[in-house]
Structure 1
Amino acid sequence: MAFAKKGSRRIVVDGVTYRWRLRARPTYDRGMCWSPAACRLPPAAYAVERADEPGAVLVVTTNWPHMSNWVGRTGRSVLPAGVACAIRQALSAGWDPGRLGPPFRLDRSGGFVP
């Protein structure tokens, strides 16, 4: 299923146009750590799909907190160069953006400290 174009950014990698978008802010419960399952701040994540022919979505988990976290952790901006690198890494790992199916998950969260 394609995600909304509003709020997404365009990027061209190796001649193919993709759209990417940062994950939404955490829920209130997660942001305030009110539930046991939410007592650690989740890392930032973003989604990528092919712009012209959406198929399987790539979900990339980063190793830093989301910029809009509520507990004072310092986050980092997601830069287009990092998105391009993640797209190339996912393609070499078997992501087929033209094929319909479940999201392809790329975990780049090594070193994340909750």
Structure 2
Amino acid sequence: MALVRKGSRRIVVVGTVYRWRLRGRPTYDQGLAQSRCTFAVEHADTPGTTLVVTTNEPHPSNWFGRAAEPVLRSTVAAAVRLALSEGWAPKAPGSAFHLDQSAGFMPSP
């Protein structure tokens, strides 16, 4: 499934253009700071397999004001490079490629 263009951002990693998107409003569990923040990345010109990255931070818009690091371009670029090294093929059709970087996440009590 392709990313929604509205709200997506372009990034160039290793000479290839990708689009990435962070959900603007948190899901219910993300709002409660019970689940981790996720973002999605896809090839800009030939969307195929979407990369779904799970971070070790709560969503920045969680309802309890729990401190969260913003998702930076450098974070996205590092995740793309890691996913590519682990076998993500962004132009190939198929189900989402999940990259879990959530080690150390502590949900709100």
Report the TM-score when normalising by structure 1: 0.87
Distance in structure 2 (CA, Å) of the matches to 1:45 and 1:27: 10
The partner residue of 1:99 within 76, 86, 92 is: 92
Structure 2 residues without counterparts, runs of 5 or longer: none
Report the TM-score when normalising by structure 2: 0.91
Q: CA deviation at 1:76?
A: 1.3
Highest Rg: 1 or 2? 1
Structure 1 residues without counterparts, runs of 5 or longer: 34-39
Q: Secondary structure of the residue that 1:73 maps to in structure 2?
A: coil
The one-letter amino acid paired with 2:5 is K
Does 1:59 pair with 2:55?
no
Distance in structure 1 (CA, Å) of the matches to 2:55 and 2:86: 17
Quick one: percent identity of the two aligned structures? 57
Distance in structure 2 (CA, Å) of the matches to 1:50 and 1:32: 29
Within a 5 Å distance, the mapping from 1:22-101 to structure 2 comes to 22-28=22-28, 30=29, 41-101=34-94
Aligned CA RMSD, in angstroms, stands at: 1.6
Q: How many residue pairs are counted as aligned between the two chains?
A: 107
Q: Secondary structure of the residue that 1:21 maps to in structure 2?
A: strand
